[in-house]
Amino acid sequence: SSVAAFVAALPKVELHLHLVGSASLDTVLALARHHPDGGVPTDRDELRRFYTFTDFPHFLTVYHRVNLLVTTGADVVTLLDGLAGELATRNVRYAEVQVTPVRNRMAGISYADLAAALADGRTLARERHGVQLGWVFDADATLGPAGAEETVDFAIGHRPEGTVGIGLGGPEVGVHRADFAPAFRRAVAAGLHSVPHAGETVGPDEVWAAVTELRAERIGHGIGAAGDPRLMEHLAEHGIPLEVCPISNLRTAAVPDIAAHPLPTLVAAGVPVTLATDDPGMFHTDLDAEYLICHEAFGMGVPELAEIARTGARAAYCSRELRDEVL
């Protein structure tokens, strides 16, 4: 359709995707064959089925299994090379990549090796693919406040070029955003942007906590905010954008079906919304597909989709030159 052609040609930024979750099927198959005892299928069709998630906790267990296959700095560079190639295909000029250093360390990568790999991968993304990358170092809520402190230690101590923010992923059930306030306070004091996940699988309370306790400047997902008009007003008034990932929400069953997705409610309330893929390799999506599902399911046309792209460019922690090029 003409909308598909418009989206494909549109220069875009992508503000929410995870390093390990972005690995293509081919990349993960190669890693799985290299670590045949890792519990990840080495057959393509089986891997596809492995990526069928019953619910959000199931998704996280699969994610952690794949994470453990990424054991060297060279693996990280391979992931970034593949990711940048995919982004270039979709006309994505700038992306902020969520990297979970503590999980990489648990898979056997030293922090020095990780920092060096990110530097190499970032250069390669720019020179080979024409894609700029920024880093969000995200804590995994499963690993508690101590894991978040370790994440901030890495972000501040190594501060690889392109570091823009501190994040918080993993579960929201049984663990609260507010528990991570001290780590976020330290990161923000060191000049990092606060961009936690919140309100992915739960309601407005955790989004409020992200805003008030973690000083969130942007929020990963945040769709739980749609249940609270006062919160939506707050996000709109303070210009706190949501990185909405509709296909992720379907795949993890965070929403039951696309008709039930709160994106139109958020947009109607004036909340700044941008689109992202979250874990494109695992969710079988790409950024164009996220735009197109909004066209197909919500009737958004070229003006609305262009506004979503501009919201992303305004919310990106990239150079002004790059932002102006995309705007």
Which of 217/278 has CB closer to Zn ion?
A: 278
Among the listed residues 134, 160, 169, 272, the single contact to ligand ADE using CB under 6 A = 169
Residue 14 near ligand ADE by CB under 6 A: no
Catalytic residue numbers, as ranges: 200
Residue 278 near Zn ion by CB under 5 A: yes
Which of 10/47 has CB closer to ligand ADE?
A: 47
Residue 170 near ligand ADE by CB under 6 A: yes
Residue nearest to Zn ion (CB): 278
Residue 222 near ligand ADE by CB under 6 A: no
- Torsion angles phi and psi, residue 290, rounded to 5: -65, -45
Q: Which listed option, ligand ADE, Zn ion, none, makes contact with residue 122 (CB within 5 to 8 Å by class)? A: none
The window from 46-54, 70-78, 83-91, 270-278 that contacts Zn ion (CB under 5 A) reads 270-278
The window from 33-41, 51-59, 277-285, 300-308 that contacts Zn ion (CB under 5 A) reads 277-285
Binding mask 242-281 for ligand ADE (x = CB under 6 A): ------x-----------------------------xx--
The window from 69-77, 275-283, 291-299, 319-327 that contacts Zn ion (CB under 5 A) reads 275-283
Which of 213/278 has CB closer to Zn ion?
A: 278
Among the listed residues 50, 53, 63, 94, the single contact to ligand ADE using CB under 6 A = 63
* Residue ranges that bind ligand ADE, judged by CB under 6 A: 18, 21, 63, 169-170, 197, 200, 248, 278-279
The footprint of Zn ion (CB under 5 A) covers 278
